[in-house]
Amino acid sequence: MKRNMPKNKLNDLTNKEWLKFQKSWFIHNPPPRKKGVLMHPAKFPETMAQEFIEFFTKRGETVLDPMAGTGSTLVAALRAGRNSYGIELNPKYAKIAGQIIAEERKALCTATAHRKSEIENLTSEIINGDAAQITNYQLPTIDYVLTSPPYWDMLRARGAETQKKRRAANLDVHYSDDPNDLGNITDYEEFLARLIEIYKGLKPLLRPKAYLTIIVKNVKKGGKMYPLAWDIGRELGKWYTLKDEKIWLQDNQPLAPFGLGSAWVSNTFHHYCLQFRNE
């Protein structure tokens, strides 16, 4: 006798697709970045974002990224058939995000003619503003948050090899010079406190039991590791329920001989995808 399966209240996935996503780690090597998003010094791939969005929402629901950058979350939401909103402090990145989203919408309407009406009716709105003031933007009820914070002020570490290459190519090496930009805070505890306040401030917008996924990693500075991912889990867990984690692994990155012959310094090619729920 075929056993009756419970109704899927969370997403539109099959049981097989659900089970596959439950693995606690995954390898995702993103495709090459387009010219516009290459200007942004740190982003997560749309292909990966779409997998999270399709697990934590149903078609037609609404996704938010309070630190949207060049719009990865909104592009992924559009592909997945979800409404989306993004807040971005830097006007240059907000403009780039708007252009990329418009191009994506046009491409999807052309490539998937059977979805044209659905795609045209989806909201994909980038707001040039401060996530710390998010309740001022009259957003609708949010079903899911997918975001990644600045990794403290690490983008201002001038000695990093990646930063040298980006300077040589005339690309941005930090987010902005705006005093409200958390990436400009030099004190770790102040940075952490202000970041947690932003995430706490999302609570009035979220529907009950909405999930928040925060993609983050621990950072190294001055010969010491700062457990940013773990600190976010601990501090934000006082306001939302920390449900679980997934580990994002990248196995196509070149190794660098950090500390060779003298000290242990790892090549860090993993991120924590922390899952919180609004309970």
Tally Cβ neighbours within 10 Å of residue 82. Answer: 26
pLDDT at residue 5 greater than cutoff 70: no
Considering the chain, what is the average pLDDT of its residues? 88
Contact criterion met (CB below 8 Å) for 153 and 186:
yes
CATH number of 35-277: 3.40.50.150
Distance CA 163, CA 173 (A): 6
Q: Where are the domains of the chain?
A: 35-277
Residue whose pair of structure tokens reads 């957003």 in the numeric block:
139
**pLDDT tens digit string along 82-119?**
999 999 999 999 999 999 999 999 999 999 999 999 99
Q: What is the bridge-based pairing of β-strands 224-226 and 124-128?
A: unpaired
pLDDT computed for residue 1 by the predictor: 45
Distance CA 36, CA 93 (A): 9
pLDDT computed for residue 22 by the predictor: 95
Contacting residues for 176 by C-beta, under 8 A, at least 6 apart? 89, 90, 183, 184
pLDDT computed for residue 40 by the predictor: 42
Question: Which of the pair, 35 or 51, is modelled with greater confidence?
Answer: 51
pLDDT at residue 29 greater than cutoff 90: no
Distance CA 204, CA 202 (A): 6
Q: Which of 19-33, 49-63, 128-142, 211-225 is predicted least confidently?
A: 19-33
3-state secondary structure of 13: coil
